[in-house]
Chain A
């Protein structure tokens, strides 16, 4: 039990940490026009996805909680590009 809890806490920690790293690197890459940074950010997206998957595959959580985590890890994949578009559009609309 202790090991399961230990792993779940670590997976949760890294899931949001990597999601943040993905968001920051993605935004910096897009803003500075460095596609390499943007591509590098996808590695954090993958790590985020894998960390979340670690929680989903745990037998300790039942189906509802697995579904919530699964929804979250997919949502984190799309948040940076979608938010980037929203922010850029918001500023563009104001400039026009």
Chain B
């Protein structure tokens, strides 16, 4: 086992906190899924809007914490020194966790307030997916700035600026910069939505994508010994392709919010090209899998890394393209189709990446040299989560098709059409199946948690032939 840098200890704090919030995300998701079937469930105590808000916000925060953990884990390895300003980093961690706890308590017990500045600053901003009150928003930006300071300070102090580090520094500037766009206040809902999408699309789908590229690059270097030159060359290609199609792909969110009509063309064009780089990336994943014959000292980390490459293609590519053209999106926008796409895309692109990073860090802290991190529980969790997510997504896709056809294309988006679609067997049954697969996913999470808590106790003696490099 390796001696840990202080920043790597901080990374482990972040990882565990992220894992707890992952559990909270699933719990509130299950409660929401029950309320889709029985709207009276917990009505007046824990309303659907609160459950849904906590389900999504917990996800955003835990994924962000996981990425920050990944940065703190690999940064000292990249620069060969302790992270500059690590005490400030630890302070930011406690502030972040404290802020999240306060915000969750306010969501649970206060839930909403009158439409004034007090509510905006202290209860909720009311913007879907990023409901955090203004003071917590400022806290998130402060944490991102401290992480950026840690990274830049360490790069300067070590006099080492690698290609990966360079991409990370530029990306961190966007990470806190774009979040500011979600904090403008304007009474015009179209203008408000215009900036809000900068956070929801550009922050999550562009800066996070690049951040994951950086972290997965480091992971592959340390896990499989992939040469730096190849990782960096590939990272540049990925940044070019993702940004080339992803930035203006933002336009698919601008179709129906009151923006000029040219966004239909811009959004549709770039969105339809978005799956192209994802298909290309899968080629490299298959090549790497072949070269290394899926053998490594940390099997769960490797398998989650591959799940990330394929999950991104299916979730973002297949389910995204299906309803991205404006002519189709006119009918499918905001239906369960979007929920199906969102579930699989986030799981594939970000959840899998975070779990790969977490297992990698645990392997380094728990497993002695000469042993392999492996076992049965991680395989059960891995397969269970993949079955769970695809089951939920399949159910939501069926519901989305029904909603698009019945509520929108046939009955014309009236209130009555909405009710008729909701009562259609394709939707009612789909919600039951979604809950069923949600429970499978939650049970798999419990197995994952058990495995992460006990990983390292069940290790296999290293066999020379099984280790790469």
Contact = CB atoms under 8 A, between A and B. Distances in A.
Interface of A: 1-2, 5-6, 8-9, 12-13, 15-17, 19-20, 23-24, 26-28, 31-32, 60-61, 64-65, 68-69, 72, 75-76, 79-80, 83-84, 87-88, 90-91, 94
B84 interface: no
A19 B331 CA distance: 25
A67 B67 CA distance: 39
Contacts of A27: 282-283, 286-287, 290
User: Which among A12, A27, A32 has the highest number of chain B CB atoms within 10 Å?
Assistant: A12
Query: Is the contact region of chain A dominated by helix, strand, or loop, or is it mixed?
Result: helix
Given A19-B279, A27-B282, A27-B286, A9 B322 contact: yes
18 contacts: A2-B410, A5-B408, A6-B405, A9-B323, A9-B404, A13-B318, A20-B317, A23-B282, A24-B286, A26-B283, A31-B287, A31-B291, A61-B325, A68-B268, A69-B272, A76-B279, A80-B279, A94-B230
A8 B227 CA distance: 43
A73 B36 CA distance: 38
Interface of B: 227, 229-230, 233-234, 265, 268-269, 272-273, 275-276, 278-280, 282-284, 286-287, 290-291, 310, 313-314, 317-319, 321-325, 327-328, 331-332, 337, 401, 404-406, 408-410
A69 B321 CA distance: 11
A68 B269 contact: yes
A1 B150 CA distance: 55
A16 B318 contact: yes
Contacts of B279: 16, 19-20, 23, 76, 79-80
Contact of A76 (B276, B286, B331): B276
B283 A84 contact: yes
Contact of A72 (B273, B282, B314): B273
Contacts of B286: 23-24, 27-28, 31
B282 A12 contact: no
User: Which among B282, B408, B409 has the highest number of chain A CB atoms within 10 Å?
Assistant: B282
A83 B321 contact: no
A80 B110 CA distance: 53
Given A16-B322, A72-B273, A91-B230, 9 more contacts: A5-B332, A6-B405, A9-B322, A9-B404, A20-B314, A23-B280, A64-B265, A76-B276, A87-B284
Contacts of B310: 24
A16 B404 contact: no
A83 B404 contact: no
Given A12-B322, A12-B328, A65 B268 contact: yes
Contacts of A64: 265
Given A5-B328, A9-B322, A64-B265, A87 B290 contact: no
B229 A94 contact: yes
B282 A15 contact: no
A16 B233 contact: no
Contacts of A17: 314, 318
Contacts of B283: 23, 26-27, 79-80, 83-84, 87
